[in-house]
Structure 1
Amino acid sequence: MVVDAGYDGVKLGNEMTLEFIEDMIERFKDGKKIARKYVFQIILAVMDLVRKEPTMVEFDVEDGNEITVCGDTHGQFFDLMEIFRLAGKPSETKSYLFNGDFVDRGSWSTEVALTLYAYKWLYPNTFFLNRGNHETDDMNRMYGFEGECRAKYTERVFKLFSESFSALPLATLIGKKYFVLHGGLFSDDNVSLDDVRKLDRFKQRQPGQSGLMMEMLWTDPQTQPGRGPSKRGVGLQFGPDVTKRFCEKNNIEAIIRSHEVRMEGYEVEHDGRCITVFSAPHYCDSTGNKGAFIKIGPDYKLKYTKFDAVPHPNIKPMAYAANGLSNML
């Protein structure tokens, strides 16, 4: 595949460079695209990297380092830029974990996914991506990512992204203290971190309607004890007693999850053991919520930052969604 001779961006060789990322980000801000060859290169490189990662990545924060945990970004590229402005650009000492739902709903999902993937390629050991319930084919078909890939690039680009999504890790354990996953806990109290470690995520590419992968991507906390039916129609809800037992059994301090809007950008529930972080402020241009991220240093204390949405070009959320769903936010 050749790059059009008229392409006026920085060229990409066999290795990702900071120069390329910064030029790509400026192009995206200006409403431009990158060469299709580079899109393929980025996705293939990241697919190769994440395939080699375990289903649960384990990361310890070393002295002089910090990790910033972000929740759903949902195609809100200009708000992603605000996260990097406030928290600092990714580097060898500024680690990041994006906890799923990079795409769909917001109309800059390809830009968000390519930016995150480019940083993953540049900093494979300090930049991490967990899979969310929107890194799946049926969600992408319904909520805009597939249509956006087709409109901006090609059907093949979507298929490649889909393949890469199914290779993403499902969880990250930070400092043996914080279990970070997109949705939440399980229908069975006997599930342990070891079960997550052993889960073969390559066996089923899509999460389906039951099983550990589905529960990790889809469940939500509830205030009452025990477990209850999900308001989403898939997954379940888990109470503070479920969270307490899981944390004690696995000797961790808390779970950090995303998957739900929080008006203040984050919420601490279940006696401090269940933390929700959501990083798409003014979600779908209609919710009025703040976004948030969590910084964790070598002392493993959680530092929360809330932020507001920033202006973006006048393109509506769900602009690429199927079946006129953009009218049904």
Structure 2
Amino acid sequence: MGCSHSVHNETKKSEKAMKAAVLIQNWYRCYKARLELRRRQALNIFETIEYADEQDQMQLAKFFTFMLEHYVKNKSSADNLPKIFNPEPKRKSDQETIISLIEVPDTYYGPRLKFPLTFADVVLLIDAFKENQILHARYVLEVLVEAKKILQQMPNIIHISSTVSKELTICGDIHGKLDDLFLIFYKNGLPSGNNRYVFNGDFVDRGQNSMEVLMVLFSFLLVYPNDIYLNRGNHEDYLMNMRYGFTKEIMQKYKQHGAKILHLLEEVYTWLPIGTLIDKKVLVIHGGIADNTDLNMLEQMKRNRMRSVLMPPLVPAVFDPRHGHFSHELSPPAMLAMEQLTKNEWDQIITVFSASNYYEEGSNRGAYLKLSHDTTPRFFQYQSSQITQAKTLHERVNIVENAAFRILGERMISRKTNLIKAFQKYDPNDTGKISLSDWAKATEEVLELHLPWMSLCPRLVKTIEDGYVLYNMGFKDLPVVRAPQVAKAGMVETLVRYRSDLKIIFNVIDKDQSGLISMDEFRAMWKLFCSHYNIDIEESHVDQVAHSMDLNKDGSIDFNEFLTAFDVVHRATNKL
């Protein structure tokens, strides 16, 4: 009997333990599901705002066209344009001779490259970058010169065939994420004659190691020109680099020779092929698709004329006094073809994005795909985890979520006046409160982001009482703007809203990247900007702010300080 009783007790204990394990398992699954829901909501915010920023870029492109059409009325006044819009004829110079005059000091302990490069040289370069070494400017320029020679010989669309012995790996955006590039090579092997790669643009910007990514890819191109293929993305663009960080990275790392690198890089970009066609079945190309362009147009266009997707091509560009505008060799449909591709007979569209932790650490995985001789894709995912592996899942989601709400907060404060006006339309009696649904409708009317405002509301508004939002009490935990006292409220919001666009415009004016522009240049560009964007700000207010920035009163503006004066300051984020 004793043994039977003991067995019965053990069985009960086992049942309880099993029930407890099931409860814990169910709780953990629900916990992970809630965290995953929050992560996806944060990603939705990131992606929606990034898409809205792309539309802003189109507005900036229209602004540059507007400048070309309205800044000058005749050929004699065309000289008033910045040289970027009215470039002088380029004098032929021996770039290689100029580069050879750049001395590499004995104190430089990084890799010393010899040309033609070998596979061993590229391995040494990779090892140096893993140790955070910076390649000397002379070698950077030499790699760019040699890469340009190869790229100039390539067609717009590279046609390749797959074979049984040569598998092909296709990678998407890297965006300066050197760890991701190395992780791809670790998992998939280094490029070689039997391990071919297509890198589909956006090698640079956003990440901190864009130069290193570019040098590795170009170096492999020099060693295996028939086995590694580099397509141009919209970030292989010197104007985009001004906005998204690569220009700043180059000037910080290379200071004295930074301008030379930027100038040469601008030329190299224009010679990158537009796409890669595999077995006449699989087209690898950066950007979207459309129904009004075709592959033949892409193959025939002169790709080196397109210096930037944000500007009409300028060479050969002439001012036509009879019609009062500039004429260009590329037609508008051809310009559009640089950004979009026709659907034609393509049956399936696959998007590959290879930068993990893109928005914030832990935000997303990267991926690449492999094609064999039957062109059936196989997908591989990964995530660079040097930073994230020490954090819990809850901590990682908090980081991503807080970052998403920070950028959403910046969007809201840049339109604060319009938001308040929209709220007031739903409050005819001026009670200071509106319903949650009205708040969501008003917010969408102003921001046009198509986000689930009802669910986001608790994170954004100060108080919700009986289903109502007390909109007059301000926004909850949103950032504030640091601005000079002379700046008017409307101007502050405008500068925060357009500061990325303004940064590109004023960097264009600042030809030598010194960070200084004259007061006259400032006024002229600001007047055109306000005219194009239909912004109503008194010029006297602009002058007041500009003079307040000119601390040494030399008549020039340090535009970096000007932008810093309108920085968004974030309060400490609350942990959820």
Which bracket does the TM-score occupy, shorter chain normalised? 0.7 to 0.9
Amino acid corresponding to residue 202 of structure 1 in structure 2: N
Moved over 6 A (4+): 324-328
User: 326, 339, 354: which one pairs with 1:217?
Assistant: 339
Structure 2 residue matching 1:164: 3-state secondary structure: helix
Instruction: Give the number of equivalent residue pairs.
Output: 273
Deviates more, 1:131-140 or 1:9-18: 9-18
Corresponding residue for residue 300 of structure 2: 198
How far, CA to CA, are the matches of 1:218 and 1:74 in structure 2? 20
Amino acid corresponding to residue 53 of structure 1 in structure 2: M
**1:218: Cα distance to partner?**
5.8
How far, CA to CA, are the matches of 2:166 and 2:107 in structure 1? 41
**1:205: Cα distance to partner?**
2.0
Residue 160 (str. 1) matches residue 302 (str. 2):
no
* Structure 1 unmatched ranges of 5 or more: 220-241, 255-272, 314-320
Structure 2 residue matching 1:284: 3-state secondary structure: coil
How far, CA to CA, are the matches of 1:140 and 1:124 in structure 2? 26
Residue 102 (str. 1) matches residue 238 (str. 2):
no
How far, CA to CA, are the matches of 2:188 and 2:568 in structure 1? 34
Corresponding residue for residue 289 of structure 1: 364
TM-score of the superposition, structure 2-length normalised?
A: 0.45
Looking at CA atoms only, which structure, 1 or 2, has the larger radius of gyration? 2
Corresponding residue for residue 176 of structure 2: 75
CA offsets, 1:28-56, max 9 Å, x none? 12221112211111111111111110001
Q: Residues 298 and 337 of structure 2 are in contact (CA less than 8 Å); yes or no, is this contact kept in structure 1?
A: no
How far, CA to CA, are the matches of 1:212 and 1:275 in structure 2? 24
Amino acid corresponding to residue 196 of structure 2 in structure 1: S
User: 201, 214, 229: which one pairs with 1:128?
Assistant: 229
Residue 302 (str. 1) matches residue 302 (str. 2):
no
Higher RCO (CA-CA < 8 Å; seq separation 6+): 1
User: 191, 214, 218: which one pairs with 1:113?
Assistant: 214
CA offsets, 1:147-206, max 9 Å, x none? 111111212112211211111011110111111110022351xx3322221121122322
Q: Residues 150 and 157 of structure 1 are in contact (CA less than 8 Å); yes or no, is this contact kept in structure 2?
A: no
Deviates more, 1:280-289 or 1:115-124: 280-289
Q: Call closer, same or farther: CA 1:327–1:5 in 2, change over 3 Å.
A: farther
**1:18: Cα distance to partner?**
1.8
CA offsets, 1:249-307, max 9 Å, x none? xxx5x5xxxxxxxxxxxxxxxxxx11100000110325611111011112211111111
Corresponding residue for residue 274 of structure 2: 170
Amino acid corresponding to residue 144 of structure 2 in structure 1: I
Q: Residues 291 and 306 of structure 1 are in contact (CA less than 8 Å); yes or no, is this contact kept in structure 2?
A: yes
Q: Residues 170 and 200 of structure 2 are in contact (CA less than 8 Å); yes or no, is this contact kept in structure 1?
A: yes
How far, CA to CA, are the matches of 1:115 and 1:9 in structure 2? 14
User: 16, 41, 45: which one pairs with 2:146?
Assistant: 45
Residue 11 (str. 1) matches residue 112 (str. 2):
yes
CA offsets, 1:204-242, max 9 Å, x none? 3223375434444368xxxxxxxxxxxxxxxxxxxxxx7
RMSD: 2.6
How far, CA to CA, are the matches of 2:355 and 2:115 in structure 1? 33
Residue 181 (str. 1) matches residue 279 (str. 2):
no
Structure 1 residue matching 2:304: 3-state secondary structure: coil
TM-score of the superposition, structure 1-length normalised?
A: 0.76
Corresponding residue for residue 234 of structure 1: none
Q: Residues 170 and 213 of structure 1 are in contact (CA less than 8 Å); yes or no, is this contact kept in structure 2?
A: no
Q: Call closer, same or farther: CA 1:104–1:156 in 2, change over 3 Å.
A: same
Q: Residues 111 and 135 of structure 2 are in contact (CA less than 8 Å); yes or no, is this contact kept in structure 1?
A: no
CA offsets, 1:106-137, max 9 Å, x none? 11111111111111111101101000000112
Amino acid corresponding to residue 195 of structure 1 in structure 2: M
Structure 1 residue matching 2:197: 3-state secondary structure: strand
Structure 2 residue matching 1:274: 3-state secondary structure: coil
Q: Residues 167 and 372 of structure 2 are in contact (CA less than 8 Å); yes or no, is this contact kept in structure 1?
A: yes
**Structure with a larger share of its residues in helix:** 2
* Structure 2 unmatched ranges of 5 or more: 1-101, 313-331, 389-503, 505-559, 570-576
